[in-house]
């Protein structure tokens, strides 16, 4: 291990030396990514074909990659960290993993709600409520909010994944931001009382539960229904997905909860300029089309439309642009505490 670290130091010193005299020693960019899409690799290959800059990717889970980046510190060869969820990006910023970036392109193309000075959204996702139209009509859901999931009307009818899920933590963090900790704690208790079963499974498992009649309402991200409808998860899940529909909550108020996938340039990035260029490339129409047609997320730019599998459910829904996604990371610890104290498994 000591030899490997020493070699990294040598590589870093050489890189700094050549940078100081105006010569790049390697036309590359090193990405640490917790996103698990093969399509991302194909996208990086497009960047290489366009710019001649090679892209090296280290994939893994968020906690493991964060631990490695922090432990290696100045010896870390990573240039860019890419992950899903603004809460994770905010936590990484708080830990000092990123450096401040100035880019006119990033500032112009990304709405201020979906970026900070240290990290930038590359795609959006909405966390919505799913229902079965053969059991509930859309008129039954008019005015439905996330807050309503705690209404005794839905006792024994709601499914949602566990409290350790970062998407749920960000959702609850947004409720704290808008309603305060006390009201959110009351809400969490009400939601747990309304659960059709103890929290378990991934987002697709919640959708499947509604399709099977085990619950009336499920909370899950939008891209999961498109993934299931695409057939990539098998015919059984495709058939189940055809039985349910997403409903966009809080349309009469702040709008539907939004989150992002995004990235930030690491603090000691040896190829900072290439990392910024790659982030800027990810906002081009070509790259955005590649993302939405493979991951079924929403585009971060307004010049590209979502994939038709998700666009069919509506493009004009009101998004929550009031709540800055940067608040999720600041409130996630409190959110988890509230969830666990409510008995949310």
Q: Do residue 49 and residue 190 come from a single domain? A: no
Do residues 105 and 212 both lie within one domain?
Answer: no
So what's the pLDDT on residue 162? 98
Mark whether 108 and 250 lie in a shared domain. no
Structure tokens at 59: 């994939």
Place of tokens 């930038």: 120
pLDDT of residue 138: 85
Asked if 170 and 305 sit in the same domain, the reply is no
Query: Within this chain, do residues 197 and 330 fall inside the same structural domain, yes or no?
Result: yes
pLDDT number for residue 77: 96
Q: Do 146 and 276 share a domain, yes or no?
A: no
Q: Are residues 272 and 291 in the same domain?
A: yes
Answer yes or no: do 300 and 324 share one domain: no
Distance, in Å, from the CA atom of 221 to the CA atom of 203, rounded to the nearest integer, reads: 7
**Same domain, yes or no, for 173 and 226?**
yes
Each residue's pLDDT expressed in tens, for the chain with a length of 345 residues: 444 444 344 444 444 444 443 444 479 999 999 998 999 999 999 999 999 999 999 999 999 999 999 999 999 999 999 999 999 999 999 999 999 999 999 999 999 999 999 999 999 999 999 999 999 998 899 999 999 999 999 999 999 999 999 999 999 999 999 999 999 999 999 999 999 999 999 999 999 999 999 999 999 999 999 999 999 999 999 999 999 999 999 999 999 999 999 999 999 999 999 999 999 999 999 999 999 999 999 999 999 999 999 999 999 999 999 999 999 999 999 999 999 999 999
Q: What is the pLDDT of residue 24?
A: 43
Helix residue ranges per DSSP H, the chain: 2-20, 38-51, 62-72, 86-94, 104-109, 166-179, 181-194, 203-211, 222-229, 235-241, 272-281, 285-295, 308-311, 326-341
Tell me the residue range of the domain where 245 lies. Answer: 126-257+316-341
From the list 50, 128, 119, the residue with the least C-alpha distance to 265 is 119
Contact 199, 101 (CB under 8 A): no
Task: Give the pLDDT confidence score for residue 156 in this predicted structure.
Answer: 98
Same domain, 180 and 321: yes
pLDDT score of 2: 40
Per-residue pLDDT at 230: 97
Q: Which residues of 149-180 are buried (b: 16+ CB within 10 A; e: fewer)?
A: bbeeebeebbbbbebebbbbbbbbbbbbbbee
* Pair 204, 155 in one domain: yes
| Count: domains in the chain | 2
Write out the two tokens for 108: 């112009």
0.75 surpassed by pTM: yes
DSSP SS3 for 298: strand
Q: Are residues 97 and 201 in the same domain?
A: no
CATH number for the domain spanning 30: value is: 3.40.190.10
């Amino acid at each position: 291990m000591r030899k490997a670290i020493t070699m990294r130091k040598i590589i870093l010193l050489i890189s700094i030396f050549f940078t100081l005299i105006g010569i790049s020693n390697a036309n590359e960019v090193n990405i640490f990514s917790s996103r698990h899409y093969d399509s991302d690799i194909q996208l990086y290959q497009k960047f290489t074909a366009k710019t001649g800059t090679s892209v090296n990717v280290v994939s893994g889970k968020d906690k493991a990659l964060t631990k490695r980046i922090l432990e290696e510190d100045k010896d870390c060869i990573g240039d860019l960290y890419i992950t899903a969820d603004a809460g994770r990006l905010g936590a990484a910023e708080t830990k000092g993993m990123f450096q401040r970036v100035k880019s006119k392109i990033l500032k112009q193309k990304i709405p201020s709600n979906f970026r900070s000075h240290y990290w930038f959204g590359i795609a959006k996702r909405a966390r919505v409520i799913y229902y079965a139209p053969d059991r509930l009509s859309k008129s039954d859901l008019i005015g439905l909010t996330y807050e309503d999931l705690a209404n005794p009307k839905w006792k024994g009818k709601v499914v949602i994944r566990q409290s350790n899920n970062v998407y749920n933590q960000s959702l609850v963090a947004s409720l704290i931001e808008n309603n305060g900790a006390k009201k959110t704690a009351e809400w969490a208790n009400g939601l747990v009382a309304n659960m059709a079963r103890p929290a378990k499974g991934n987002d697709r498992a919640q959708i499947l539960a509604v399709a099977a009649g085990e619950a009336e309402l499920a909370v899950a991200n939008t891209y999961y229904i498109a993934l299931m409808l695409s057939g990539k998860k098998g015919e059984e899940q495709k058939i189940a997905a055809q039985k349910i529909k997403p409903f966009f909550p809080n349309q009469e108020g702040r709008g539907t909860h939004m989150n992002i996938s995004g990235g930030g340039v690491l603090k000691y990035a040896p190829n900072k300029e290439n990392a910024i260029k790659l982030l800027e490339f990810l906002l081009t129409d070509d790259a955005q089309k590649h993302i939405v047609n493979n991951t079924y997320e929403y585009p971060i730019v307004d010049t590209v439309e979502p994939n038709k599998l998700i666009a069919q459910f509506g493009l004009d829904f009101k998004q929550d642009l009031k709540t800055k996604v940067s608040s999720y990371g600041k409130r996630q610890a409190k959110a988890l505490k509230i969830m666990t104290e409510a008995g949310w498994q």
